[in-house]
Structure 1
Amino acid sequence: MQTTLSENAKLLPRAEEAESILRSCVHCGFCNATCPTYQLLGDELDGPRGRIYLIKQVLEGNEVTEKTQLHLDRCLSCRNCESTCPSGVDYHNLLDIGRAVVDQAVPRPLNQRLMRSAIRAVVPNATLFKNLIQLGRTFRPLMPAALKAKLPRQIHPARPRPTEQHARRVLMLEGCVQPGLSPNTNAATARVLDRLGISITPISQAGCCGAVDYHLNAQEAGLNRARRNIDAWWPSVENGAEAIVQTASGCGAFVKDYGHLLKDDPVYASKAQKVSALTKDLVEVLREEPLEKLGIKSDLRLAFHCPCTLQHAQKLGGAVESVLSRLGFNLTAVPDGHLCCGSAGTYSITQPELSLQLRDNKMNALESGKPQVIVTANIGCQTHLDSAGRTPVRHWIELVEDALH
């Protein structure tokens, strides 16, 4: 579409990128057909095409209002529209640019600022988050219903990890919320990889991937977390680590974007490109291995929820289902599998009403084939779906590891 940036917008660090993305949109509207918020609200401004127009108007110097901010806030960043778009519009990067400009122009109310600051203080801090989860579970009967729903129904403790012994070595991002909410996920990953002759080199200095800060418009703070992770991993990268394995697809999608987000950083650009190239979702590692060696035979009936960050951001839709089928699991059909579950990082906190509607719709779809267990590949989706209190939800690698015994 024709775009003329304002003089102020031309001074933005990513002005050229924003203009290029805007010009790539042909206003066809295919994106609205698969946008979860447009389907719920039926408002053009709550679909990708409308949000692109809002960002265009902002960057062309038109008035920015709280209404503009609200419509951008309601976006899940699920990137379903990118999978649908025939023109290849790089929507998620445009949204990040637009949100930053809008937030600078429209100060948020105090309650929103406090909530966002609290999320950024707590969620990326793995130790603090884990302690608060344990405290919450202790005092669960005294907590209001909204907070109770955020606590996991059951925490599967981490089993012992194997010691490093194989020539093949990979790194693994431990994550910030996963150790507190599902501590056995990474331990199960280590045991399955060990059976396949792959050891995990622990890097304790690597922390939150940076997505929480970045998507709450503390973009420089998010990039600083990326830089710290790159520094933590770099010695092992230089020593020949095969991959940086991600067991949470949300983290994986963001780490795979380090190369793009830091491409203009003179110190980190080349390192970020290397780290992004080495980053693999767990399924990308397992699908290349001789899984028959695991000796798994299971007829457990599973429904797989494919997170948006796996299918739309990383383009790995169908990959986990293929691995689970190879291992003998019985997968049920899931209608509308392309739609978001409503977790979307911190979206379930910042937009609770829309998030719960999407969760319940997704649970209805997942349960339609009467599975014994629902499995997924992202801790946010796992916790959000499980909060419905219906069919149990776990990470798929835990079910694979369970079947080893």
Structure 2
Amino acid sequence: MQTSIHESFRELAEAAEAEAILSSCVHCGFCNATCPTYQQLHDERDGPRGRIYLIKQFLESGEATENTRVHLDRCLTCRSCETTCPSGVQYARLADIGRGILERKLPRPVTARGIRWLLRNVVAFRRRFAMAFTAARVMKPLLPSFLRRKIPSRTPPGVWPAVRHDRVMFTPKGCVQSSVSPNTNAAAARVLDKLGVSLIDESASGCCGAVSYHLGHHDEGKAFFRKNIDAWWPLVESGAEALVLTASGCGSMVKEYGEILKSDPEYAEKAAVISGLARDLSEVVLAEDIERLNVAPDSEKVAVHCPCTLQHAQKLPDGVDRILARMGFNLARTRDKHLCCGSAGTYSILQPQLSRKLLAQKVEALSIDAPDKIVTANVGCQLDLGAAARVPVRHWVEIVDDALVDR
């Protein structure tokens, strides 16, 4: 796809990258076949190919309308299109670039800016989110039914094992997960402890930066990246062999630090190291001798939901299934595994109607075999699925931890 970047954008660092991505698209349209929003709306502009044209038009003309933004905002950035694309088009990267430039070029209305400011300044900060979440629990009876269902009962984290092994890894506390599902990281620590790995609970870092970055505030997102790198670097220097992410959304972001900061003279090298050390929990467990875990799963049927950030962004579509199958869990049949649940970070808040349609579709796909529980690998998906499913929704490592015979 031939592109001529407008002169007002040529000096931007992302301009050449966007041009290269645009040139790799051959207009085949295979991406539309697996795009959740195109399947719902049947509008070319709400599929990857159409959005690529909208971004191309914007970068060539230097102008964009509110209508362009509407269609870009509707994109989940689930990256299912990337899994399907025969040409390897880096659609998500192009979407991030387009949104970032558009955010500066075409200011949003005051109300929309305010909502996004709140998301970036509450969700991305652990203590602020914890206070907001506590308040929401108190006000739960007064909230609309759908929001009430999104506020889970608090599960105590249980005992975190002491550092006692030669092999050491670390995991960030997280901003949302530490409040809504504090048992997830603790369960991961207990499971890894049984595998001969001590997991350090790292609390100095903050949000992975995904909230700001994917809302088009790239400089703000990069500031989170750098702060986290500084917080994690002493652990890297002390010999920690991996940075373990139990939320796949955070994992996909951290794995991109190296690429996004590759031109940063101070952080490029460190960012590449951090991204190289980042591992989804399923990767870590699969690399170990799972048979060392003495587990006795119950007979309940488990439906596995693989988040988009795990299967499309990190290219790890079946790791959780393989782990649970090898441990003897009774796995339920599901369908349409490639389709997004509609959570997509802040998407369920900013695009509620479309998100709920996708959520209903996903819950139905996960329920065809009448499972007793659903497991996932990302806290955002866990909250959204839990609001709509008729069975409990948990992180997969929690049911593994529950099945440990010698806890």
Q: TM-score range by the shorter chain?
A: over 0.9
**Equivalent residue of 1:11, what SS?**
coil
Q: Distance in 2 between matches of 1:157 and 1:202?
A: 16
Equivalent pair of 1:9/1:61 in contact (CA under 8 Å): no
1:255-270 → structure 2 map (5 Å cutoff): 255-270=254-269
**Aligned residue in 2 for 1:223:** 222
| TM-fit CA distance, 1:129 | 1.2
**Aligned residue in 2 for 1:190:** 189
Q: Distance in 1 between matches of 2:145 and 2:376?
A: 25
Q: Distance in 2 between matches of 1:208 and 1:300?
A: 35
| Residue 279 in structure 1 maps to residue 278 in structure 2 | yes
1:166-315 → structure 2 map (5 Å cutoff): 166-298=165-297, 299-315=299-315
1:89-108 → structure 2 map (5 Å cutoff): 89-108=89-108
How many corresponding residue pairs? 404
Equivalent pair of 1:367/1:391 in contact (CA under 8 Å): no
**Aligned residue in 1 for 2:60:** 60
Q: Distance in 2 between matches of 1:278 and 1:73?
A: 32
Percent identity of paired positions between Structure 1 and Structure 2: 56
Question: What RMSD in Å do the two structures reach over aligned CA positions?
Answer: 1.1
**Aligned residue in 2 for 1:359:** 359
Corresponding letter in the other structure for 2:271: A
| TM-fit CA distance, 1:293 | 1.5
**Equivalent residue of 2:202, what SS?**
coil
| TM-fit CA distance, 1:145 | 3.6
Corresponding letter in the other structure for 1:170: M
**Equivalent residue of 2:266, what SS?**
coil
| TM-fit CA distance, 1:341 | 0.3
Gaps of 5+ in 2: none
| TM-fit CA distance, 1:146 | 5.0
**Equivalent residue of 2:199, what SS?**
strand
| TM-fit CA distance, 1:389 | 4.8
Q: Distance in 1 between matches of 2:63 and 2:142?
A: 46
**Aligned residue in 1 for 2:396:** 396
**Equivalent residue of 2:394, what SS?**
strand
Equivalent pair of 1:124/1:208 in contact (CA under 8 Å): yes
**Aligned residue in 2 for 1:16:** 16
| TM-fit CA distance, 1:169 | 0.1
**Aligned residue in 1 for 2:110:** 110
Render the CA deviation track for 1:87-127: whole Å, top value 9, x for unaligned: 00001110011111222222211111111011111101112
Q: Distance in 2 between matches of 1:149 and 1:256?
A: 32
**Aligned residue in 1 for 2:349:** 349
Corresponding letter in the other structure for 1:399: I
**Aligned residue in 2 for 1:329:** 329
Render the CA deviation track for 1:163-191: whole Å, top value 9, x for unaligned: 11111000112211001111100010011
1:12-51 → structure 2 map (5 Å cutoff): 12-51=12-51
Equivalent pair of 1:69/1:103 in contact (CA under 8 Å): no
Equivalent pair of 2:146/2:387 in contact (CA under 8 Å): no
- TM-score for both structures, normalised by structure 1: 0.98
Gaps of 5+ in 1: none
Cα distance 1:146–1:300, how it changes in 2: closer, same or farther (>3 A)? Answer: closer
Corresponding letter in the other structure for 2:172: L
Render the CA deviation track for 1:337-390: whole Å, top value 9, x for unaligned: 000000000000000000000000000010111111000000000001101152
Q: Distance in 2 between matches of 1:149 and 1:324?
A: 27
Render the CA deviation track for 1:32-82: whole Å, top value 9, x for unaligned: 000000000000000000000000000101531000000000000000000
**Aligned residue in 2 for 1:368:** 368
